[in-house]
Amino acid sequence: MDKKKGDQKLLYAILIISYILVLCFAGNLAYYGASGGGLERILMAFNDMENMQFHYSLDYLNFYGIATVLYAILVEEIHVYMEKYKRESPGKEAGSAKWNDQMDEYNKTYADPIGKSGNSGEYNMILSEHVRLSLLDRETRRNNNTMVVGAAGTGKSRFLMKPNMLQENCSMVITDPSGELYASLAKPLKEDGYKIKVFNLVEMVFSNCYNPFHYIRDEAGVGILVDAFISNTTAPEQKSSDPFWDKSERALLSACIFYLIEFAPEKYQNFSTILKMVVKGQMDENAKVTVKSGLDKLFEGDAVLKEGELFEITNPEEKKLMKEKLSNSQAWKNYQVFRLGGVRTLKSILISTAVRLNPFSVKEISNLTSRDDLELDKIGDEKTAMFVIIPQANDTYNFLASMMFTQAFDTLYYIAEQRENLRLTHHVRFLLDEFANTGKIPKFQKIISTMRKYNMSVTIILQSLAQLIALYKDDYETILGNCDVTILLGTNEQTTAKYFSDFLGKETIRARMSVGLKAGKNSDTSMTFQQAGRELMTPDEIRTMPNEYCLVFVRGEYAFYDQKYHYENHPKYKFTGDYKREFFSDIRESEFLNISSEYLKEKELAVEEPEEATARVSQPADINQLSIKGADTKDAFEILKSIQSPDRESAIKFLRDISESLDKKVTRECLELKKIKGKSHKEQGICIMERRMDCKVMPGFIRRFYIDKNLPIIIFGPTPKKGILTAYLVDPGGIIHNVLGALHIPCEKVEDFSDEIIVERVPETPEENFETIRKYLREGNHFMAEVLETEISEMADYMEE
C-alpha cells in the first residue's frame, strides 16, 4: 500500500514538472513569434531552454492557453492507452505466492522484542530455527493458537514441544503420551519455580487426583460436566438418531450430581458414588410402577446417603424435613424428568447409564477421582506445568482427559471473566500432542475462537488433517481458521500434502513455448514466453521435503521454508534429562503417590520432608543394558508401584501394625545408642529386620525415621520365595541408596550391574535370619562394604534382633 502511494506521488510530480516545462517552451516560442520561419523559431526556443533562458509575459497568454490544451489532450491519450493495456500486478498474473525471506521486518512486527530486528526475547514461541512469535498477542495482533501437523518421526516432541517448554514463559498444560516430556523436563522446570502437576492415566497410582465435582460452581457447571461425560463415552458408531435416550441419561446423571452437591458430604461427591446410586435404581420390569427402587426412595426423601450407601429414614420428622428440602431442589426436578418413562424404558436408561459409569468401579479410577489436588483453578495465577499422560494404544479411560480439559477451559474462563482486564496473570498454553487421542472437547470450536482475550492459547498437534476432520466433522474448518500459526513438520499422506500445497498458493513464472511454423517444404520453430502459474510446492515436493525442514505459516505473512529448531541449541538444554541422566525425573516418586486420603493421614508415605531427605531411590540407567548371564530380566525397581491393595482397610491396618513394630524397634535401638559415648548421632546408625516389610513401602518408613530420629537407618525385608533381601539406606546426608538389590532372580545369577545400583549376594539359606545378615555384614569383604565403606561397618556394630 505504501509503495502504491509513493508511485502516485511520483506521477503527480512528473506531471507538474512536465507542465511547467511545456509552459516555458510556449513562452519562448511566443517570444520568437515575429522572427524567422516556423522551424527556426522552434530551434531558437529549445536553444534558450537549454541555456536556462525563459521568456514570459502576459502578452503570451494565448500561447499558454494553446499549450495547456494540447498538454491536457496528450495526458488523456496516454492515460487511456495505459488503462487499456496496464498490468495490475506485474509478475503476479498467475499467482503472487513466494517464500518469506524478510526476517528483519518480520521480527520487528511479530517477535519479542517488538520493534527490533532480533528475536531473542523471553516471550517468544519457537516455531522453527529462525521464526518466532511473541506471546504478547496485543502487540502482534495475532492469536497464539497453533496447528502442527507431522507424521510419526518428524520430531513433534524434539523440535517443537521440548524447546517451547524450555522457554518457561507461560503456564503449560501438556499432553505427554509416553511420559517422555515429564522425564526430560520436569526437574529443570521445578527448579526454575514451576509447580509440577501430573494427571496420569497410564499408571494412575502415580498421579495427582482429579475430581470433576471440585470444579462445579453453579448449575451450568453440572450441564458442562454431563455433556463432556456423555459425548466422550459414546462411540461414534453408537450415536442414536433419537435424542430421547441421551437426554434421559443426562437428566439422570444431572439428578445424581445435584443430589450429591446439595445433600452429601464432600468426600462422597464423586462419580463412584453416582455409580452406586444408579445401581440402586435397578427395578423389575414386571413390577408395578408404584414399586419404588432404592434410588426412588433416595430422591423422594425416604432414604438418605450415608458412608456411600443408602439407608432408609425411620424417624418421621427427619423424613418430613428431607422431603421438604428435596421438593424444591434441582436434584428432584431432574429426577422427575428422568422418571417420566415407563418401567422398561427406565430400566434401559439405568443400564445404559451404569455401563457408561462402569469405569468408576475400577479401584484405580475410583481412587484417582475421589478427591482433587490437580488445582486447575490456579494454573493461570501460579506458574504451572501440568503433564497429562494418556495411553497410546488404549483409549478406554481417555474420556477423563477430555473432561479435565473441558473443565480446565471453563474454570480459567470464569476466573478471567471476574477480572477487570479479562486476563489471566500468566499466559496459559495448552500443548496438546496426539490431540486426536484426548477425546472430543465439547464446543471446542467456540473455545478456540475466544480464548485469546483471556490470555490463553492452544497448540494442536496431529499426525494428519484427517484426524481433525474425523473428530470435528462439521467444525474442523473453524478450528483451522482460528489458528494464526500453522506448521507442517512433514507428511506422507496425500490429502495433507495437497492441502498444504494449496495453502502455499501459486507463484508466477515465465513459461517457454515452442511454436512450429510451416511454409511449403520449409519448417521452422519459434520460441515464445508467457506468464504461467505454478504451485510454490507441489504435493510431491511436500511429501519429499527433507526431514530437517518444515513449513511455517503466520497469518498475514508469506510462508517460511526453514529448518526445524535444534533442541540441543537451546540455552537450557544442558539442564534436561536428555543432556544428563542426573536431571532425569521418574514419575514413580512418592510426590505423586495417591493410594487414599485415609492412608495419607497416616504419614508413613507422606511426611513433611526436608529438601535433603527427598532424593529418589537410585535406579538403573537402562535395565536392558544390565548383564545377568543371559537371563531375561525386567525392571524390578518399580519403587512404590502397586501399593493400592484390593482391600484398602486391610492394607492400612497392615501398615499400621508394621509402623508400630518398627517404632518399637527403632526406639529400643535409640536407647541403646544413647549409652554409647564419643560419637555424634550422624556417625551412628541402626539396622533392623522386619520380615513382613514389602520393599515397595520401605522408602516411606526410612524417610520418616530419618526425620524423626536424625539417624541413618537400614530396614531389611525379604522378597517372597527368593534368596535376595532388600534394604535401603538413608545416609547422614539424607540421600536414599539401594543397599541390597530387589531383582526377582536367584542369588547365583546376581552380578555387579553398575555404579548406580548397589547389588549384593547374600547366603542362600532356607530361613535367612538376623544373625546371618549380621555376620555377613561384619565380614566386610564384599561389594556392598566396598561401596558404603564406613556407614555399613558402623551400623553392623549396633545390629541386634
Residue 246: the pLDDT is 81
Q: What are phi and psi of 647, to 5 degrees?
A: -105, 95
Structural domain total, the chain: 3
Q: What is the pLDDT of residue 15?
A: 84
Predicted confidence (pLDDT) at residue 112 exceeds the cutoff of 80: yes
Q: What is the pLDDT of residue 762?
A: 37
Cell, residue 35: 522572427
- Is the sign of the CA dihedral 438, 241, 216, 206 positive or negative? negative
* Nearest Cα residue to 396 out of 431, 439, 366: 439
Give 154 or 83, the one with higher predicted confidence.
154
* Distance, first Cα to last Cα, the chain: 91
pLDDT at 630 over 80: no
With a pLDDT cut of 90, the percent of the chain lying above it is: 41
Model pLDDT for residues 162-196, shown as the tens digit of each residue:
999 999 999 999 999 888 999 999 999 999 999 99
- Tell me whether residue 564 is in a domain: no
Measured CA to CA, the distance from residue 666 to residue 658 in angstroms comes to 12
Strands 309-312 and 686-689, sheet pairing: unpaired
Question: Among 519-528, 631-640, 649-658, which stretch is predicted with the lowest mean pLDDT?
Answer: 631-640
Q: How far is CA 186 from CA 55, 175, 183, 513, in A?
A: 87, 13, 6, 61
Q: What percent of the chain has pLDDT over 70?
A: 66
| Domain range enclosing 227 | 212-368
pLDDT at 179: 87
Joined together, the cell numbers standing for residue 177 give 503420551
d(C-alpha 735, C-alpha 713), whole Å: 11
Q: Vertex 565, ends 563 and 569: CA angle to 5°? A: 125
pLDDT digits (tens, 9 = 90+) for 577-611: 999 888 888 887 656 666 544 333 333 333 333 33
pLDDT at 765 over 50: no
User: Is 17 part of any domain?
Assistant: yes
The mean of the pLDDT values for the chain is 75
Asked if residue 431 is part of any domain, the answer here is no
Tell me the range of 167-181, 503-517, 631-645 where mean pLDDT is highest: 167-181
pLDDT of residue 395: 82
Which residues, other chains included, contact 700 with Cβ-Cβ below 8 Å and sequence gap of 6+? 590, 604, 605, 606, 607, 640
Each residue of 348-385: pLDDT tens digit? 899 889 999 999 988 889 989 999 999 999 999 999 99
635 lies in the same domain as 783? yes
pLDDT at 561 over 70: yes
The number of helix segments (H) and strand segments (E) in the chain equals 28, 19
Q: Is residue 418 part of a domain?
A: no
pLDDT at 86: 57
pLDDT at 520 over 60: no
Nearest alpha carbon to residue 742 among 762, 721, 727, 763: 727
The pLDDT of residue 386: 97
Which helix (H) or strand (E) element contains residue 462?
A: strand 456-462
Q: Is the pLDDT of residue 679 over 60?
A: no
- Residue ending a domain, choose from 85, 104, 131: 85
**Cα(265)–Cα(259) distance, integer angstroms:** 11
* Residue 28 within a domain: yes
Give the residue-averaged pLDDT of 320-335: 92
Q: Residue-wise over 162-188: b if at least 16 C-beta within 10 A, else e?
A: bbbbbbbbbbbbbbbbebbbbbbbbbb
173 SS3 class:
strand
Task: Tell me if 136 is assigned to some domain.
Answer: no
The DSSP H or E segment spanning 180 is helix 180-191
Range with lowest mean pLDDT among 128-132, 386-390, 720-724, 794-798: 720-724
Output the nine-digit C-alpha cell for 668. Answer: 529400643
For 442-465, the pLDDT digits (tens) are 899 999 999 999 999 999 999 999
Dump pLDDT digits (tens) for 52-63. Answer: 877 777 777 787
C-alpha pair distances (Å), 231 with each of 47, 236, 590? 91, 9, 34
CA distance 357 to 230: 10
Q: Which of 329, 345, 368 is the last residue of a domain?
A: 368
196: in domain: no
Q: Which is higher by pLDDT, 739 or 504?
A: 504
pLDDT number for residue 353: 92
Which pLDDT value is given to residue 733? 42
Q: Which residues contact residue 327 at a Cβ distance below 8 angstroms, ignoring those fewer than 6 apart?
A: none
For position 618, what pLDDT does the model report? 32
> Hey, what amino acid is at 580?
K
106 assigned to some structural domain: no
Residues 6+ away with beta carbon under 8 Å from 56 = 24, 27
Is pLDDT at 253 greater than 60 in this prediction? Answer: yes
For 190-219, what is the mean pLDDT? 92
In sequence order, the 6+-apart residues with CB closer than 8 A to the CB of 29 are 41, 42, 45, 63
pLDDT value, residue 396: 84
Q: How many angstroms separate the CA atoms of 282 and 208, rounded?
A: 34
Q: How confident is the model at residue 19 (pLDDT cuts 50, 70, 90)?
A: confident
Provide the b/e sequence for 218-255 (b: ≥16 CB within 10 Å): eeebbebbbbbbbbbbbeeeeeeeeeeebebbbbbbbb
Last residue of one domain, picked from the residues 58, 85, 112: 85
pLDDT tops 60 at residue 703: no
Q: What is the pLDDT of residue 517?
A: 52
- Supply the pTM of this predicted model: 0.65
Provide the pLDDT for residue 286. 65
